């Protein structure tokens, strides 16, 4: 009893401290989402991530994103560099740390971040370097170093995905990110070197293929995403098909952007290969005619749209038999059922008085115990796993650029490259099966230990001549107290990179040198932009490729 109470006190104290940190982070996130970055900086300091030894990756993520939002790109580079170095170190020690999580709970271990969160560190590092190249006020040669550092960060992003697929045996759906391919293509274009243009062309081809194979598993790209995803992962293999595809207008716009990039660069680099390109991608001659009228782009526009929904805990109520059936491993299934059967049956018979009143009635005792063992396999245990709530699907957004005297210079869709929130939902859902088994077995073990402890308390009190009723009462009270402690420890680990955008959009254009006003337009009648949201002024210089990134945390 004493052990159970001490455990309960410790657990509830730890949970209380954790909840304060989560509440502070949510307040910080809400302020960030309003675009009040200076105020958000003060709130982030109050969270005291520095003192949370198991949340250091989260610390670098949040401080890096805040520096990035405040356009302190030099500081952002430093913070994101530390974060990417940390995930390398975490990878090397992940087995031992994750083993510790199995023994206690999901929230007790080091914050590794979900796959999509680690992935987006490389995007932020690359964009910080690119913005530093353009806006850092550095001498030309020093500035160019940042451009090539951006390219190196994007190569590291590609390596991250390769390593991730090797580590998962190629079973993870998050195989790559369309945005990773397209942003890398844009950076390679910015160098102006022919070899880099060749790389850009291949990256845009890869992005187009990803949009066709993986893209339909996201609701923003496909109205039948759930059916497509189910078929995509059937038999544990990645098997893209043309079934269950109903493309959205957003998909069409992104395909048109990538089509123009592929055709445009092919005309510049390998015009003789155009017939092959048309056949390979299903483009037609009218697309080529259109591409020929377009000048090579010199300006890139990136929109970081909205704020990702915060992770929440999803309650799982699962019977022992249901938990066992989730496992593909016969030994694990047997272990779960053994925990659920033998121990809980003994508890039911000996403590709750459901067995025979006399020890001589062996046949009745065994019969009752076995019956309770069958019932125990249906006894439910409760715990939580993290999930990301649904957010609205991406709709058409428009880039509107006007000259300084108010004339329209450019109107085009802001193509969706990465529905980050939907990727996060998919990634957590993909991991949930493994997490339910891991957590369920751990919770079952905790219940078994609590039952054994309660039973020992009952035997101890009863052997001293105490009233059997009070012995049973104390045993049940001990078990109930322990279950409350178990429930407290098994709340989901909802730590997350709270300020990630819910979507990334990108487009580019050819603009003459000059001053321009940039706005964000929403969808209106006849597929033209409606209400405009001013995003600021830009200056396009001569003979330089420019990038402009707009962080709009709330739409």
Dump pLDDT digits (tens) for 382-401.
778 888 988 888 889 999 99
The Cα 515–Cα 267 span in angstroms is 30
Q: What is the pLDDT of residue 456?
A: 78
Question: Among 210, 164, 122, which residue's Cα sits nearest to residue 417?
Answer: 210
Q: What is the pLDDT of residue 554?
A: 79
The Cα 163–Cα 118 span in angstroms is 12
Query: Averaged over 525-537, what is the pLDDT?
Result: 80
- Please, are residues 505 and 35 in contact by the beta-carbon 8 Å criterion? no
Q: How far is CA 162 from the centre of its chain?
A: 17
Q: Is the pLDDT of residue 354 over 70?
A: no
What is the end-to-end Cα distance of the chain in Å, rounded? 54
The Cα 542–Cα 441 span in angstroms is 63
Query: Which of helix, strand or coil describes residue 333?
Result: helix
**How many CB atoms are located within 10 Å of the residue 365 CB?**
17
Q: Is the pLDDT of residue 301 over 80?
A: yes
Q: Is the pLDDT of residue 96 over 50?
A: no
pTM confidence score: 0.81
Strand partners, 193: none
Backbone angles phi, psi at 503, to 5 degrees: -160, 150
pLDDT level of residue 231 (50, 70, 90 thresholds) = confident
Q: What is the pLDDT of residue 110?
A: 83
- Please, are residues 330 and 541 in contact by the beta-carbon 8 Å criterion? no
Helix-helix angle 140-167:73-103, to 10 degrees? 20
| Cα Dmax for the chain | 101
Lowest mean pLDDT among 24-33, 82-91, 129-138, 197-206: 82-91
Which residues lie below 8 Å from residue 486, measured CB to CB, with a gap of 6+? Answer: 443, 446, 447, 450
Q: Is the pLDDT of residue 434 over 60?
A: yes
pLDDT level of residue 468 (50, 70, 90 thresholds) = confident
**Inter-CA distances, 79 with 76, 297, 368, Å:** 5, 31, 63
C-beta contacts of 289-295 below 8 A and 24+ residues apart = 290/260, 291/260, 291/263, 291/264, 291/267, 292/267, 294/260, 294/264, 294/510, 295/510
- Please, are residues 419 and 218 in contact by the beta-carbon 8 Å criterion? yes
Q: Is the pLDDT of residue 466 over 90?
A: no
Query: Which of helix, strand or coil describes residue 530?
Result: strand
Query: Averaged over 339-344, what is the pLDDT?
Result: 50
Lowest mean pLDDT among 104-108, 260-264, 431-435, 511-515: 104-108
Phi-psi category of 308—alpha, beta or left, where left has phi over 0 and alpha has psi -120 to 50? beta
Query: Averaged over 21-32, what is the pLDDT?
Result: 86
Q: What is the pLDDT of residue 513?
A: 94
To which residue do tokens 């940190």 refer?
A: 21
Q: How far is CA 489 from the centre of its chain?
A: 23
Q: Which tokens hold the place of 500? A: 């990630």
The Cα 212–Cα 223 span in angstroms is 14
Question: Among 492, 498, 495, which residue's Cα sits nearest to residue 21?
Answer: 495
Which DSSP string do the residues of 418-475 spell out, in sequence order? E-HHHHHHHHHHHHHHHHHHHHHHHHHHHHHHHHHHHHHHHHHHHHTT--HHHHHHHH
Percent share of the chain, pLDDT over 90: 46
Question: Among 364, 367, 372, 375, which residue's Cα sits nearest to residue 345?
Answer: 372
Q: What is the pLDDT of residue 14?
A: 43
Helix-helix angle 115-135:420-463, to 10 degrees? 140
The pairing of beta strand 299-305 with beta strand 503-509: antiparallel
Q: What is the pLDDT of residue 332?
A: 59
Q: What is the pLDDT of residue 357?
A: 45
| Strand blocks (E) in 287-326 | 299-305, 312-319
Give the model confidence (pLDDT) of 398-430 as tens digits: 999 999 999 999 999 999 999 999 999 998 888
**Dihedral over alpha carbons 500, 501, 505, 511 (to 10 degrees):** -90
pLDDT level of residue 329 (50, 70, 90 thresholds) = low
Percent share of the chain, pLDDT over 70: 76
Buried/exposed code over 239-273 (b: 16+ C-beta within 10 A; e: otherwise) = ebeeebbebbebbebbbebbbbbbbbbbbeeeeee
Lowest mean pLDDT among 127-131, 159-163, 340-344: 340-344
Burial class of residue 54, CB neighbours in 10 A (0-12, 13-18, 19+) = middle
**How many CB atoms are located within 10 Å of the residue 425 CB?**
21
Q: How many residues does the chain have?
A: 555
**Inter-CA distances, 219 with 227, 248, 274, 446, Å:** 11, 9, 32, 39
Q: Is the pLDDT of residue 450 over 90?
A: no
- Please, are residues 28 and 61 in contact by the beta-carbon 8 Å criterion? no
Q: Which tokens hold the place of 355? A: 């067995």
pLDDT level of residue 352 (50, 70, 90 thresholds) = very low
HSE-up (13 A, CA, CB side) for residue 74: 5
Helix-helix angle 420-463:330-338, to 10 degrees? 40
To which residue do tokens 């025979």 refer?
A: 356
The pairing of beta strand 397-403 with beta strand 408-413: antiparallel
The Cα 521–Cα 507 span in angstroms is 14
């Amino acid at each position: 009893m004493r052990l159970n109470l001490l455990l309960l006190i410790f657990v509830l104290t730890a949970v209380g401290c954790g909840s304060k940190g989560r509440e502070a982070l949510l307040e910080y996130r809400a302020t960030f989402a309003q675009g009040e970055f200076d105020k958000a900086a003060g709130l982030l300091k109050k969270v005291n991530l520095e003192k949370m030894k198991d949340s250091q990756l989260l610390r670098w993520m949040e401080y890096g994103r805040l520096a990035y939002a405040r356009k302190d790109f030099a500081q952002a580079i430093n913070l994101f560099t530390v974060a990417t170095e940390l995930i390398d170190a975490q990878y090397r020690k992940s087995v031992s740390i994750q083993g510790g999580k199995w023994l206690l709970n999901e929230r007790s271990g080091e914050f590794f971040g979900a796959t999509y969160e680690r992935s987006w560190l490389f995007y932020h590092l690359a964009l910080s370097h690119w913005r530093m190249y353009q806006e850092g006020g550095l001498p030309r040669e020093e500035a160019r170093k940042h451009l090539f550092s951006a390219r190196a960060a994007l190569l590291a992003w590609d390596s991250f995905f390769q390593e991730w697929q090797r580590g998962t045996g190629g079973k993870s759906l998050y195989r790559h990110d369309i945005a990773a391919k397209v942003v890398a293509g844009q950076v390679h274009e910015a160098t102006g070197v022919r070899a880099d243009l060749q790389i850009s062309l291949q990256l845009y081809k890869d992005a187009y293929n990803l949009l066709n194979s993986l893209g339909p598993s996201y609701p923003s790209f496909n109205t039948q995403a759930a059916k497509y995803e189910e078929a995509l992962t059937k038999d544990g293999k990645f098997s893209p098909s043309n079934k269950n595809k109903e493309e959205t207008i957003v998909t069409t716009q992104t395909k048109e952007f990538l089509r123009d990039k592929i055709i445009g660069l092919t005309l510049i680099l390998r015009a003789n290969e155009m017939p092959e390109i048309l056949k390979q991608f299903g483009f037609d001659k009218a697309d080529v005619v259109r591409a020929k009228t377009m000048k090579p782009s010199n300006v890139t526009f990136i929109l970081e749209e909205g704020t990702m929904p915060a992770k929440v805990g999803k309650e799982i109520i699962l019977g022992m038999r249901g938990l066992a059936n989730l496992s593909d491993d016969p030994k694990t299934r047997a272990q779960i059922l053994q925990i659920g059967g033998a121990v809980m049956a003994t508890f039911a018979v000996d403590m709750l008085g459901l067995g025979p009143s006399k020890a001589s009635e062996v046949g009745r005792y065994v019969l009752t115990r076995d019956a309770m063992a069958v019932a125990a396999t249906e006894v439910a245990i409760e715990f939580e796993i993290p999930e990301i709530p649904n957010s609205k699907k991406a709709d058409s957004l428009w880039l509107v650029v006007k000259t300084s005297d108010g004339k329209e210079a450019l109107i085009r869709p802001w193509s969706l490259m990465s529905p980050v929130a939907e990727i996060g939902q998919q990634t957590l859902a993909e991991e949930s099966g493994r997490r339910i088994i891991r957590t369920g077995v751990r919770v079952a073990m905790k219940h078994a230990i609590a039952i054994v402890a309660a039973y020992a308390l009952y035997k101890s009190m009863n052997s001293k001549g105490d009233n059997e009723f009070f012995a049973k009462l104390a045993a049940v009270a001990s078990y109930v107290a322990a279950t409350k402690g178990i429930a407290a420890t098994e709340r989901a680990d909802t730590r997350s990179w709270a300020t990630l955008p819910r979507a990334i959009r990108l487009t580019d254009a050819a603009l003459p040198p000059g001053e321009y006003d940039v706005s964000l337009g929403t969808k209106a009648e006849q597929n033209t932009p409606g209400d405009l949201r001013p995003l600021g002024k830009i200056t396009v210089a001569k003979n330089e490729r420019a990038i402009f990134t707009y962080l709009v945390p709330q739409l």
